[in-house]
A = this chain, B = another copy of it.
Amino acid sequence: MVGLPARGKSLIAQKVVRYLHWLSIPAKTFNVGQYRRTETPTPSAEFFDTSNTEGERLRRAAAEAAINDMCKWFREGRGLIAIFDATNSVKSRRRWIQDRCQAEGIDTLFVESKCDDESIIMSNILEVKTTSPDYVGQDPEVAAQDFRDRIRNYEKVYQTLDEDEADLTYVKLIDVGKHVIINGIKDYLQSRVVYYLMNLHIKPRSIWLSRHGESRYNLEGKLGGDADISDRGEMYARALPGLVKQSVGDGRQLTVWTSTLKRTIQTARFLSFEKLEWKALDELDSGVCDGLTYAEVEERYPEDFVARDEDKYNYRYLGGESYRDVVIRLEPIIMELERSENILIVTHQAILRCIYAYFMNVPQERSPWMDIPLHTLIKLTPKAYSTLEEQFKADIPAVSTFREKGSSAKHQHSSGSSPSVTASNGSGAH
């Protein structure tokens, strides 16, 4: 990373790591500030003055320690992409990083966040003064002033990436993607990361997620298929516009995305917004098990039934898909979600698990077992370092489609009256 303090470097680093983990690419951030804090936990602005030789020495030592750990991490084969998160604000520092990496056979991609938009900088300063470990226990106003002074010390010496560094691979993000400069991209992974960075925006927005209403297959405990929604599913479809209104507020326009399967299209049909059908949102393909109940799967494919329990993320149905396969086909959806504002997605359990896992940073051992209840609208609101979740439950009963890991394959009939009988933690069917 390259950039002055309060330019969203750590935020970008964190989003990229989350995205890479979601794609099963092992990645890790090495934050120089954290290393520096072991010696200097709460430095004042003058620590960052370049004429402060002791400060310089300590900051240099922290960078050394971080890069050493990073190189070790690569040598031990523990990951594919490391993010070296620091200001790296002068050319000599960047050259030093480049040389160290080259000596280790590590390719570099410098990502500069340059931002002159006062409102973005101010909101970052606000974030830092209240949450940074550098200012723990200090008066927020004093912290904000000290942080502004720290920025000024960096500004004195700051050198942006430019034609002197034409031999480096870099991307400059100016005012969060408004203007982007890309230099010397060499391979596919770099090009994917750059495309992801290009698509980031920081306008406030939410994403709404819902499973389709209960389907006739849900009632029978069958997998897959293209069944109609049940009578209770129909009730949910009719209730959905009200739930949306309750959580969105009046007047705001959403775009509704469904899969190409009947149960999602039927569920969305009373929403008076623009609608788009995506094949990529179709349910996980259960191949030869399509149309069977879990009990039938257990009977006909007992070994597969056990194998799936053991590694549900990687298990691919014969002639069908694994969760890993679904994540790959969902990538364009995630990319478009990052670009967009105000999308409501009506889709299927396994698909929602994957989308939810991306935003909520759920590890892949857990994501296939998450419970995403029927007849519930989920609202996700991405914040700087986390995503806020709200659930809006329709008071309409539905069968539970969850099956706990290692449990036998009994179909669970609905209790028929409780307002939200689907909830259960950490497990679910498909």
Contact = CB atoms under 8 A, between A and B. Distances in A.
Interface stretch (A71-79, A111-119, A191-199, A374-382): A191-199
Contacts of A285: 285
Interface in A186-216: 187-188, 191, 194-195, 198-199
Nearest to A178: B184
A189 to B, nearest CB: 11
A198 B185 contact: yes
A179 B184 contact: yes
Interface in A259-289: 260, 279-280, 285
A325 interface: yes
B191 A185 contact: no
A136 interface: no
A66 to B, nearest CB: 29
A184 B280 CA distance: 28
Nearest to A331: B332
A181 interface: yes
Contact of A328 (B184, B185, B195, B279): B279
A188 B226 contact: no
Interface in A140-155: none
A329 interface: yes
Contact of A198 (B182, B225, B280): B182
A177 interface: yes
Contacts of A340: 188
A290 interface: yes
Contact of A182 (B166, B180, B328): B180
How many copies of this kind of chain does the complex include?
A: 2
Interface string A294-327: 0000000000000000000000101101000100
Report which residue of A184, A224, A225 has the largest number of chain B beta carbons within 10 angstroms of its beta carbon. Answer: A184
A366 interface: no
Given A183-B179, A336-B188, A226 B319 contact: yes
B180 A181 contact: yes
Contacts of A183: 178-180
Interface in A22-71: none
Contact of A188 (B184, B279, B339): B339
B181 A185 contact: no
B188 A177 contact: no
Nearest to A287: B290
B191 A280 contact: no
A279 B179 contact: no
Contact of A191 (B198, B260, B328, B331): B198
A321 B320 CA distance: 13
Nearest to A340: B188
A185 B177 contact: yes
Given A180-B185, A181-B181, 19 more contacts: A179-B181, A179-B184, A180-B182, A180-B183, A182-B182, A182-B198, A185-B198, A188-B336, A188-B339, A191-B339, A225-B319, A226-B319, A260-B316, A279-B321, A279-B328, A280-B329, A285-B285, A290-B319, A329-B329
16 contacts: A178-B183, A179-B182, A180-B181, A182-B198, A185-B198, A188-B340, A191-B199, A191-B339, A225-B319, A226-B318, A260-B316, A279-B328, A280-B328, A280-B329, A290-B319, A329-B329
Interface of A: 166, 177-185, 187-188, 191, 194-195, 198-199, 224-226, 260, 279-280, 285, 290, 316, 318-319, 321, 325, 328-329, 331-332, 336, 339-340
Task: Kindly list the 4 A-B residue pairs having the minimum CB-CB distance in the complex, ordered from nearest.
Answer: A180-B182, A179-B183, A279-B325, A181-B181
